[in-house]
Amino acid sequence: MSLSISAKRSRNSVKPNDQAVRLKSELMDRWAPHLTLIGDFHSHTYENLAEVRDIRGFEFSDADEASFLDDDFLWERANDQPIMLAMTICKLARVHEKHAAETIRSNIAYFDVGEFRFWLNAAVGFLDASGSRRCTGNRPSNVKLRIDSRFYNYSRDRLVVATRALISSPSPMGA
């Protein structure tokens, strides 16, 4: 997977840095030639739970899917079967005691860590019968996320390093 840590951000969108993916891939070729780039991982950050729910921020945006389908380098490296993961995060008003991850759909799971909620959304790219790129995206599909449920989020748990800076980035309305 390639983690997007050098994306170009604007007020309403985030655009991946294509050169960063190529650099990470070249490093993998040199230091871990037995590994293969298989996908993209990026995040969507929001101020609060209401904002995530209002705009279904745990879903892939149209821009996410378009960027994924248009990424020739990723598709080539992943043998035309790349994976896209998006992690949505927001701070909760209070800590919720949870004993396992829950699912919204087979490809979307969510869980709490301290006073934060995380959603993980997975999609798989494939070529259709005519050879065109497609993506499972935000539709029900055979993509299944299994989150090991051996974790607990206790009601008094807090993340020590949690700061406003973690979620202070603009909402990814177009990303």
Q: List pLDDT tens digits, range 157-166.
A: 777 655 554 5
33, 26 Cβ separation under 8 angstroms? no
11, 56 Cβ separation under 8 angstroms? no
pLDDT of residue 126: 97
Instruction: Give the chain's length.
Output: 175
Average pLDDT, the chain: 82
Ranked by mean pLDDT, which of 7-11, 65-69, 97-101, 153-157 comes out on top?
65-69
pLDDT at residue 97 tops 90? no
134 or 170, higher pLDDT = 134
164, 48 Cβ separation under 8 angstroms? no
Question: What total of structural domains would you count in the chain?
Answer: 1
94 is a domain residue: yes
pLDDT at residue 173 tops 50? no
The 10s digit of each residue's pLDDT in 40-55 is 888 899 999 999 999 9
8 is a domain residue: yes
126 is a domain residue: yes
131 is a domain residue: yes
19 is a domain residue: yes
83 is a domain residue: yes
173 is a domain residue: no
Which residue range(s) make up the domain with 126? 2-167
**Model confidence at 171, in pLDDT bands (50, 70, 90)?**
very low
d(CA 37, CA 29): 9
d(CA 83, CA 39): 4
**Model confidence at 7, in pLDDT bands (50, 70, 90)?**
low
161 is a domain residue: yes
% pLDDT > 70, the chain? 78
| pTM score, whole prediction | 0.78
